Amino acid sequence: MARIFAYIEHKGGVAEDSAAELAAAARKIDANASPTAIVTGWGTELDAVCEGLRATYAEVWKIANASLAYPNAELIRKALVKVLPAGSIVLAPHDHFGIDLSPGLSIKLNAAFVSDVTAIDGAEGTYLKLVRQEFGGQVSTHVRCDISSGAVLNLRGGAFKPLDTAPVGGHVIDKSAEVADLVAGRRYLETLVPEAGDVDITKEPVLVSIGRGIQEQDNVAIAQELADAMGAAVSCSRPVVDAKWMPKSRQVGSSGQTVKPKIYLACGISGSFQHLAGLKGSPFIVAINKNPRAPIFQVADVGIVADILEFLPELTNKVREMKKVSV
């Protein structure tokens, strides 16, 4: 089995959650695998990340370079090509960075590339058996990937549960010297953060969506609190927009936005045809409604008969508790 590398994303000196997920995924490829973490960056933040990774990874390759202070995939790709041994398997998160980095990386490494992998069934000789989704998640497909000359795999966030193992106590290897001046045809300028309220619900993976059951404008805050606790955004059905409790940009429906979240909490939404028309892919739909006969329960995955004005605050508290525990 080829050597497995995991590309680690990080922010503020802390590795992203994907780091643990990639480690777990590596074990799915090869139960005995000891993946190597690869981290690029600069300065003390990079050092802190590498230090933290020692618990999960036996070997952590650190690539420090001033030009990599901001993760520019074009530069990082060049760096990786310099250090990665031929035939390696590289795991990366399927996110805005992985989409930017990996396809080109696979070409430069002359390796296979599989995107947005949701499950790894195992290896079979020089093939990996993987699972992906297509058509916005409506169907899944088994994929065979020839890894004889290596592979780059982008893994879906949240699809691989981090393993509960004792700290590995790995060591950090500084590979910075192998990466000299990096130059690319794309240069990072700055990051603009949108104004508060500028939420694009079509890009949100988790939505707390409210309907008429929210009953009045002041209650919208209840949904917002839950969304904040969950790291989600609040969307709504048309009556809420018409009542001017939320802006039009939050509306899900045939005359509103089309959303493709992973999880959709339909709170106090009856599930009209026009509203559901805005929900694409196969989100995990949780329906919370006072009315047990609301049509939403026919399309939801999970149903809860409850008054959202009472249940949502409870749920919010529970989520907050959970988050306190996990961090």
70-89: which residues touch another protein (CB under 8 A)?
72, 74, 77
User: How many whole angstroms separate alpha carbon 55 and alpha carbon 322?
Assistant: 22
Shortest reach from residue 59's CB to another protein, in Å:
25
Residues 22-51 that bind another protein (CB under 8 A): none
Evaluate whether 308 touches 237 at the Cβ level (below 8 Å).
no
Evaluate whether 238 touches 274 at the Cβ level (below 8 Å).
yes
Instruction: Please name the helix (run of DSSP H) or strand (run of DSSP E) that holds residue 286, with its range, or none.
Output: strand 284-289
Per CB under 8 A, the list member of 192, 218, 324, 325 interacting with another protein is: 192
Shortest reach from residue 28's CB to another protein, in Å:
16
Shortest reach from residue 253's CB to another protein, in Å:
10
Shortest reach from residue 174's CB to another protein, in Å:
27
Q: Does residue 53 belong to the site contacting another protein (CB under 8 A)? A: no
Burial classification of residue 121, based on how many CB atoms lie within 10 Å of its CB (0-12 exposed, 13-18 middle, 19 or more buried): middle
Which of these segments, 31-39, 164-172, 174-182, 316-324, binds another protein (CB under 8 A)? 316-324
Q: Does residue 293 belong to the site contacting another protein (CB under 8 A)? A: yes
Q: Does residue 277 belong to the site contacting another protein (CB under 8 A)? A: yes
CA atoms within 13 A on the CB side of 309: 9
Tokens linked to 195: 């104004």
Per CB under 8 A, the list member of 27, 54, 262, 290 interacting with another protein is: 262
Which of these segments, 36-44, 47-55, 56-64, 283-291, binds another protein (CB under 8 A)? 283-291
Which of these segments, 40-48, 52-60, 166-174, 184-192, binds another protein (CB under 8 A)? 184-192
Residues 214-233 that bind another protein (CB under 8 A): 230-232
Question: Between the CA of residue 160 and those of 17, 18, 23, 29, 117, what are the distances in Å?
Answer: 11, 9, 9, 12, 10
The pair phi, psi for residue 252, each rounded to 5°, is: -105, 125
Q: Which amino acid is at 47?
A: D
The conformation of residue 38, written as its DSSP 8-state character, comes to E
Residue in the structure block whose two tokens are 């090509």: 81
Which of these segments, 27-35, 47-55, 60-68, 248-256, binds another protein (CB under 8 A)? 248-256
Instruction: Please name the helix (run of DSSP H) or strand (run of DSSP E) that holds residue 240, with its range, or none.
Output: helix 238-242
Shortest reach from residue 177's CB to another protein, in Å:
25
- Helix or strand or coil: residue 6? strand
Strand 59-64 to 127-134 pairing:
unpaired
Q: Which is nearer to another protein, 51 or 310 (CB)?
A: 310
Which of these segments, 25-33, 34-42, 164-172, 305-313, binds another protein (CB under 8 A)? 305-313
Looking at the chain, how many residues does it have? 327
Per CB under 8 A, the list member of 82, 200, 221, 247 interacting with another protein is: 200
Per CB under 8 A, the list member of 31, 96, 125, 167 interacting with another protein is: 96
CA atoms within 13 A on the CB side of 104: 14
User: How many whole angstroms separate alpha carbon 241 and alpha carbon 274?
Assistant: 14
Residues 112-171 that bind another protein (CB under 8 A): 112-116, 129, 132-136, 138-146, 149, 156-159
